[in-house]
Amino acid sequence: MSVQQSKASSVDVIVAGAGFSGLYLLHRFRKMGVSARCFERGDGVGGTWYWNRYPGARCDVESMQYSFGFDDDLQQEWDWPEKFSAQPDIMAYANHVADRFDLKRDIDFETEVKAAHFDEAARQWRITTSTGETVTAKFFVMAGGCISTAQIPKFEGLSDYKGKTYHTGKWPHEAVSFAGMRVAVIGTGSSGIQAIPVIAKEAAHLTVFQRQANFTIPSRNHKMTDDYAQSWKAEYPAKRQEMRYMPNGVLRELNDKSALEVSEEERLATYEARWEMGGSGFLGAFNDILTNKEANDTMAEFVRNKIRATVKDPVTAEILCPTTHPIGTKRLCVDTGYYETYNRDNVELVDISETPISRLTETGLEVGDRAFEFDAIVFATGFDAMTGTLFNVDIRGRGGNALKDKWYAGPRTYLGLMSEGFPNLFMITGPGSPSVKSNMITSIEQHVELVTDTIQHMRDSGLDLIEPDKAAEDEWVDHVQVVAYKTLFPQANSWYMGANIPGKPRLFMPYIAGVGSYRRTCEQIVADGYKGFRFEAPTALAAE
Ligand code: N01
């Protein structure tokens, strides 16, 4: 407490969140001589990887790429134990970065930003935290992550259930044992698909409740080899630069052929080779998988046939075969032994696509006229993504207007970076930027560098306020949708579309034109004198 009290109540910048975005922001601000304070609701750094400690949690972007590229000594010295790192290894990395650059002293842990109000007269942000502190700053950066507000559906009887409950995105820090227990997992997205095989090995019995089947590809994870790590380290700066202009911010082999222009034999051989390679690079098999339904169908059927070949019970296999959306239009999952798990005697799959969970009871739950009893229920039911974390803070801009009200019909941003009416408020990987449709660390680095360079530009030019033009923002909001509707993405009831939260506006939230194309657009906007942004010099009142 005494440490917190000694911290400044007025700084240049306030940052919300100490995940990878917050850490890199603090590092850049320190180097620029900009004073910053960061508020973090957890008691440690790491963001997503701090909260998602569920069994089997692992990144599906390989670690040589899911890591910072801004410091060559860091990337040369850090060793990853596996190709796709598990949550504890990514947490260790986040802590290493925080300690290496001495960042923790600028972070107030277990402290949430509750409100952020823009004071027009003083031209500064007034931030109120969960500890009751008020801090002012010229700039406010929301770096709370895109997938950080866990959601448990409002099942009838939720509070009646007396057994243990867990949400994958808010997993306890102490060890959880399911040994000897009857366990339910509700949800088969990326989190459920990773947790289910691990829980199945420990629990006495596991029942999985599936609403929509999802596509998942084996990760083929393995221990990192020296040769592979060295192949990256020897050329890291050049490879990182290439990644920054790749469609997903990931260096991978893309095939620039249509799935429909090759023979069936070549098509199947291509899918087979990528299936054997493992990982979400599977989607790069052909260039029209996400834009042409006929091409997409060929890939979807290949995966369904893999499911049928893996799962011994044909009824279970058919329930696991996804049919509700084109492959890749919901996040493609990456697993370790997922479909094989349904061959275990202690695992049951319950299809709730037609008859949903009707209620939770004291001892379990009911689906139609079938009652289940459980010792523990794991909610792998996802997040109020992209906007949930922003709306958890009472953000008010010019005229006291709330961000939530401005965005009632969906997020409105320029470049996913700022919103008109909210001067000097930046969002890292906000809606309308590639964000969740990319290697998050590549996109985080790009946004952090853009924000910090912009603040440096303002300091150099004696400027005080930055805000997007309404016309530029309107055009960007439309452009994000136009690009999305050229693809198959809007055909899925996904969280990208806000479809997982009852009442949430339906529109495609990330920007899907690609990391490289987005980066070039940002570079051009800066080169054109920050086209679409408006700057103001300090007023006499604000300068007092
Ligand atoms: O959440 P989700 P997640 N009754 O929203 C079901 C990232 N991530 O935590 O499909 C019954 O994808 C819901 O059913 P349906 C990644 O970007 C990355 O798994 O809506 N079921 C679905 O099956 C990912 O996309 C990694 O019909 C209900 C599940 O719950 C994102 O985080 C690992 C229900 C939710 O799936 C979110 O993934 C983990 C209800 N009322 C996560 N409501 C890696 O890097 C929801 N569901 C590997």
Task: Determine if ligand 1 sits within 6 Å of the CB of residue 189.
Answer: yes
Q: Domains in the chain, please, with CATH?
A: 3-149+385-536 (3.50.50.60), 158-242+295-379 (3.50.50.60)
Collapse the DSSP code of 347 into the 3-class scheme (helix H, G, I; strand E, B; otherwise coil) and give the result: strand
Residue 280 has pLDDT above 60, yes or no: yes
Task: Determine if ligand 1 sits within 6 Å of the CB of residue 153.
Answer: yes
Mean per-residue pLDDT for 479-493?
98
Distances from the Cα of 76 to the Cαs of 45, 69, 203, 247, in angstroms? 22, 10, 41, 25
Residue 106 has pLDDT above 50, yes or no: yes
Which of 500, 504, 509 maximizes ligand 1 atoms within 8 Å of its Cβ, making it the mutation to test the pocket?
Answer: 500
Cα dihedral sign, 251-255-259-265: negative
Atom of ligand 1 nearest to the CA of 379: 30
Mean per-residue pLDDT for 43-65?
97
Residue 31 has pLDDT above 60, yes or no: yes
Task: Determine if ligand 1 sits within 6 Å of the CB of residue 322.
Answer: no
Q: What band does 25 get if pLDDT is binned at 50, 70 and 90?
A: very high
Give 419 Cα–ligand 1 centroid separation in angstroms: 28
Encode burial over 515-544: b for 16+ CB neighbours within 10 A, e otherwise: bbebbeebeebeeeebebbebeeeeeebee
Atom of ligand 1 nearest to the CA of 382: 1
Mean per-residue pLDDT for 387-402?
98
Mean per-residue pLDDT for 292-313?
98
Q: What is the pLDDT of residue 4?
A: 45
Mean per-residue pLDDT for 461-487?
98
- The total of other beta-carbon atoms located within 10 Å of residue 239's CB is 18
Residue at token pair 């972070």: 107
Mean per-residue pLDDT for 45-65?
97
Encode burial over 174-183: b for 16+ CB neighbours within 10 A, e otherwise: eebebeebbb
Mean per-residue pLDDT for 22-48?
98
CB 353 within 8 A of CB 142: no
Residue 92 has pLDDT above 70, yes or no: yes
Q: Are strands 134-142 and 425-427 parallel, antiparallel or unpaired?
A: parallel
Q: What is the pLDDT of residue 541?
A: 56
Sequence letter at residue 123: R
Q: What band does 542 get if pLDDT is binned at 50, 70 and 90?
A: low
Q: What is the pLDDT of residue 407?
A: 98
Residue 2 has pLDDT above 60, yes or no: no
Q: What is the pLDDT of residue 540?
A: 64
Give 379 Cα–ligand 1 centroid separation in angstroms: 10
At residue 452, φ and ψ (nearest 5 deg) are -70, -35
Give 48 Cα–ligand 1 centroid separation in angstroms: 14
User: How far apart are the C-alpha atoms of 101 and 105, rounded to whole Å?
Assistant: 10
Distances from the Cα of 529 to the Cαs of 426, 522, 525, in angstroms? 18, 11, 7
Give 276 Cα–ligand 1 centroid separation in angstroms: 25
Which of 188, 191, 280 maximizes ligand 1 atoms within 8 Å of its Cβ, making it the mutation to test the pocket?
Answer: 191
Task: Determine if ligand 1 sits within 6 Å of the CB of residue 357.
Answer: yes
Residue at token pair 């291509």: 270
Q: Where are the alpha helices (DSSP H) in 311-378?
A: 314-320, 338-341
pTM for the structure as a whole: 0.97
DSSP state of 464: -
Atom of ligand 1 nearest to the CA of 192: 19
Residue at token pair 């452009």: 479
Q: What is the pLDDT of residue 331?
A: 96
User: How far apart are the C-alpha atoms of 233 and 227, rounded to whole Å?
Assistant: 10
Atom of ligand 1 nearest to the CA of 211: 27
Q: What band does 539 get if pLDDT is binned at 50, 70 and 90?
A: confident
Query: Which tokens go with 334?
Result: 């990456």
Residue at token pair 């006499």: 540
Mean per-residue pLDDT for 136-160?
97
412-437 pLDDT per residue, tens: 999 999 999 999 999 999 999 999 99
CB 474 within 8 A of CB 432: no
Residue 1 has pLDDT above 50, yes or no: no
CB 20 within 8 A of CB 441: yes
| Strand blocks (E) in 344-418 | 347-351, 357-360, 364-367, 370-373, 376-379, 394-396
User: How far apart are the C-alpha atoms of 303 and 305, rounded to whole Å?
Assistant: 5
Q: What is the pLDDT of residue 3?
A: 42
CB 388 within 8 A of CB 240: no
Task: Determine if ligand 1 sits within 6 Å of the CB of residue 377.
Answer: no
Task: Determine if ligand 1 sits within 6 Å of the CB of residue 390.
Answer: no
339-352 pLDDT per residue, tens: 999 999 999 999 99
Give 510 Cα–ligand 1 centroid separation in angstroms: 17
Sheet holding 370-373, edge to edge: 357-360, 364-367, 370-373
- The total of other beta-carbon atoms located within 10 Å of residue 134's CB is 12
Average predicted confidence (pLDDT) for the chain: 96
Give 195 Cα–ligand 1 centroid separation in angstroms: 12
Residue 332 has pLDDT above 60, yes or no: yes
Sequence letter at residue 43: D
At residue 32, φ and ψ (nearest 5 deg) are -85, -10
Give 189 Cα–ligand 1 centroid separation in angstroms: 4
Collapse the DSSP code of 41 into the 3-class scheme (helix H, G, I; strand E, B; otherwise coil) and give the result: coil
